[in-house]
Amino acid sequence: MRNLFLHIFKWKRIIRLVMCCFFNLIITSNTLAQEAPPRPIVIYVNPALGLNFGTFTMGSFGGTVIIYPNGTRSSTGDVIQLSSGIPFTPAIFEVEANVGTVVSILNGPNVTLTGSNGGSMLLQIGSSSTGSPFITNVAPPGRTQVRIGGTLVVGSAVSNPGGIYSGSFMVTFIQE
């Protein structure tokens, strides 16, 4: 009888050990993690559309014109927005990278825009539609669209005569 009891006890221990190994295999086989991207990691950024504040006029004091990443526009001070058919748009960049790539956006410094009639205005780069950092979720050759707004600081009508103002700004896309 004692041998039978030891024999049963021994088999119970073996069964427990096998069950522990079996459950351990089940748990580890269902564990998922982010897949390591191929090396080297390459991202491509296409500047698809420039930042455009449209048309506006100002009074004696000036103010600001703000373009938001969602494509809306607002103004402050005595700046009056006009609808002359010239569109206002955020800057649009198309980012092509492997799914799961973490990308940070670093705005460059403020920029002075120069006018065709001798004036100048200050451009402050705004926020992006994706936030920063963001994770790409479109597989190449598809691209993630990033919209970036800005604020234009407008002086008085005397310091900023009517005309076309232009300049370049810098935005850096950093793959992490």
What is the SS3 string spanning the chain? Answer: CHHHHHHHHHHHHHHHHHHHHHHHHHHHHCCCCCCCCCCCCCCEEEEEECCEECEEEEEEEEEEEEECCCCCEEEEEEEEEECCCCCEECEEEEEECCCCCEEEEEECCCEEEEECCCCEEEEEEEEECCCCCEECCCCCCCCEEEEEEEEEEECCCCCCCCCCEECCCCEEEEEC
Neighbour count for residue 68 (Cβ, 10 Å): 17
65, 103: one domain:
yes
pLDDT at 41: 72
Distance CA 81, CA 27 (A): 61
**Are the C-beta atoms of 81 and 63 separated by less than 8 Å?**
no
pLDDT at 160: 86
- β-bridge mates for residue 55, sequence order: 82
pLDDT at 5: 46
pLDDT at 83: 86
6, 88: one domain:
no
Give the amino acid at 24: N
Is 39 domain-assigned? no
160, 128: one domain:
yes
List the chain residues with pLDDT less than 50. 2, 4-7, 9, 11, 17-18, 21-29
63, 132: one domain:
yes
Sign of the Cα pseudo-torsion (163, 85, 80, 49, in order): negative
54, 83: one domain:
yes
116, 143: one domain:
yes
Per the structure, the complete domain to which residue 54 belongs is given by 44-175
Nearest CA among 87, 67, 69 for reference residue 147: 69
pLDDT at 13: 55
166, 97: one domain:
yes
Tally of domains in the chain: 2
pLDDT at 42: 81
Is 80 domain-assigned? yes
